[in-house]
Amino acid sequence: MKFQALVAILIELEKTRSRNLMTELLATFLETVPAEEMSRALYLLLGQLGPAYQRVDFGLADTMVVRALARLFEVDLSEIKKTYGRLGDLGEVVTELSGEEEGEGLSLKETYEALSAVAAASGKGSQEEKVELLVGLLKRLSAIERKYVIRTVLGKMRLGFSDKTLLDALTVMESGSKAGREKLERAYQIYPDIGTIAALCKSNGLNGVEQKVGITVGVPVMSALAQRLKSADEMVAKMKRVIVEPKYDGQRIQIHFERTDKGELIRSFSRGLEENSFMFPELAQAIEQIGVKSIILDAEAVGYDPETGKLLPFQETITRKRKHGVADASKQVPIRFFCFDVLYIDGESLLQLPLWQRRERLEQVIAKGDYLQISPMIETTSADEVREFHAKQLGLGLEGAMVKKYDGVYQPGRSGWNWVKFKEVEEAKGKLSDTIDAVVMGYYRGKGKRSSFGVGAFLVGVLNPEKQEFVTVAKIGTGLTDEQWRELKRRADALFVDEPPAEFVVPDSLIPGVWMEPSLVVEIAADEITRSPLHSSGYGLRFPRLVRFRDDKKAASATTLAELQEIN
């Protein structure tokens, strides 16, 4: 298969904002892709070289790409910079300067491999090597192919669809409709590698995928997430017998460990499935407490004060980590991993076991030690005992309690009633039962005092998962400290885009001065959620204020419209 065929569909996709049309275009295209090309095609459609959890960084900044283009066209750097200044997108620059260039008609595989070589170059002198390799690839491509290669290298492919739309498209490809999508979804939840799922779908059909994928050490499982209920009585009514655990205010971590003859594999992933092993060098010692060959643990990483032994709130753990750098931070802010679930042991998936049995297994396989701690728990059918436990945790300075169904399976994602969070409703969180994790969609340049920060207000939205759109819910212009305004500006400018992203639905009256890529998630407190015709969500927030930046969350895990209704 030619790379041109993929580029042809990218051009079509770029012209539309309709998710249904995108799904159809993708399904029609994927029908033409042979099984052995499927995974590469899927990764390239997303501007990636592998599954999202292995995000490849090409390690080439704009300036290096400018240098590559100067070399490709044999012109001065200043000429490329001038055109870049005019067009604002290096993908457009390369297309314009390439004229009618036809290229050699490289295959998808050749292009993929050449891009992989650019990404793989590392070490001393690798910038130069990357530029050379990139120029070599560009020389063989047509004007339009070059555009998408440049966007891929710069991580700016963004066509406004994600793995989710691709799961839809694969289902349509196989069944002609979205019927049966849940089969792919289930497979994807335990093996979130869209390329592998697509290849299996092509060769085994919709029904065959689930049999072929299994929970695997080194591949993250989508994390189970908590639902909300208003009271302990409702929780007990819904789940009957429950296990109640402290709700730690740390960072979710899924720990993968395998001991083989060849050595040890230690890997960990965030709630958003990004690998974060590098942040936790302590894991190398922690796994000494594990008495089995392989395991996947669900846990919360929490920093503590080495002098007092007291657990630190998330914000403090993160700040100290940033300040001291990873290696030093593990001394300054030692970490404990509070394990509350186990998903896999020695080749056996435990996802379908009832929670109480998984907790028993957890007790059996983790030896006492400093790093891995098993979270305490109580088991009860009494709402009073749930409340009491919750109050006790608040007294200990924790965030509240997690209330889990005693015989519930491990359910990836936020569905079913297996996990419910029981948080404190305190002044700082506003008068709502929970805070809102919103995506920053853009900002307005400031007038008056805040003009010195370069930003006077910002627009935030929540997720409408059915349409995979972001809909607006608040324009926030107050309640930030000076430092937060500055930080917002800095972060916003790194995410600046020329055009409103395809998945944004923003009413004309709210169009911001600067659009941003949907990537920055902020936690917002408010006093009330009201119906509002002003916002595309249909809701607005009373007295919205920024609680913190949620670096641990991706836009795809922002609060959804349905959750917004629950929070009220």
Strand-strand pairing, 504-505 and 419-423:
unpaired
Residue in 320, 484, 295 with CA at minimum distance from that of residue 372 = 295
Q: Is 556 in the site for ligand ATP (CB under 6 A)?
A: no
What residues between 226 and 245 interact with ligand ATP by CB under 6 A? 226, 245
CB-nearest residue to ligand ATP: 252
Q: Is 358 in the site for ligand ATP (CB under 6 A)?
A: no
Per CB under 6 A, the segment of 87-95, 246-254, 259-267, 277-285 that binds ligand ATP is 246-254
Among 146, 183, 421, 554, binds ligand ATP (CB under 6 A): 421
d(CA 279, CA 368): 23
Q: How far is the CB of 420 from ligand ATP (least distance, A)?
A: 10
CB 63 within 8 A of CB 73: no
Q: Is 139 noted as a catalytic residue in this protein?
A: no
Residue type, 486: R
What residues between 268 and 297 interact with ligand ATP by CB under 6 A? 271
Strand partners, 366: 290
Q: Element (H or E) spanning 133, and its range? A: helix 126-139
Lay out the site mask for ligand ATP across 253-272 (x = CB under 6 A, - = otherwise): ------------------x-
Among 181, 247, 256, 545, binds ligand ATP (CB under 6 A): 247
Q: What are the residues whose beta carbons fall under 8 Å from the beta carbon of 71, sequence distance 6 or more?
A: 131, 135
Buried b (16+ CB within 10 A) or exposed e, 55-68: ebebebeeebbbbb
d(CA 245, CA 256): 22
Q: Is 340 in the site for ligand ATP (CB under 6 A)?
A: yes
User: How far are the Cα atoms of 160, 338, 524, 565 from residue 476, in angstroms, in the given order?
Assistant: 25, 36, 10, 20
Q: Is 418 in the site for ligand ATP (CB under 6 A)?
A: no
Residue tagged active-site, from 130, 147, 202, 247: 247
What residues between 63 and 122 interact with ligand ATP by CB under 6 A? none
In DSSP notation, 466-481 reads: TTTEEEEEEEE-SS--
Q: Is 13 in the site for ligand ATP (CB under 6 A)?
A: no
Q: Is 146 in the site for ligand ATP (CB under 6 A)?
A: no
Q: Is 225 in the site for ligand ATP (CB under 6 A)?
A: yes
Token pair in block for residue 522: 């902020």
Q: Is 248 in the site for ligand ATP (CB under 6 A)?
A: yes
CB 215 within 8 A of CB 296: yes
Q: Is 300 in the site for ligand ATP (CB under 6 A)?
A: yes
Among 67, 146, 183, 252, binds ligand ATP (CB under 6 A): 252
3-class secondary structure, 302: strand
Q: For ligand ATP, give the closer residue by CB, 174 or 563.
A: 563
What residues between 422 and 451 interact with ligand ATP by CB under 6 A? 437
HSE value, Cβ hemisphere, 13 Å, CA-based, for 551 = 12
Q: For ligand ATP, give the closer residue by CB, 148 or 340.
A: 340
In the DSSP assignment, the letter for residue 179 is T
Number of residues that bind ligand ATP (CB under 6 A): 14
Among 93, 118, 402, 420, binds ligand ATP (CB under 6 A): 402
d(CA 147, CA 357): 54
* Catalytic residue annotation: 247
Residue ranges in contact with ligand ATP by CB under 6 A: 225-226, 245, 247-248, 252, 271, 300, 340, 375, 402, 421, 437, 557
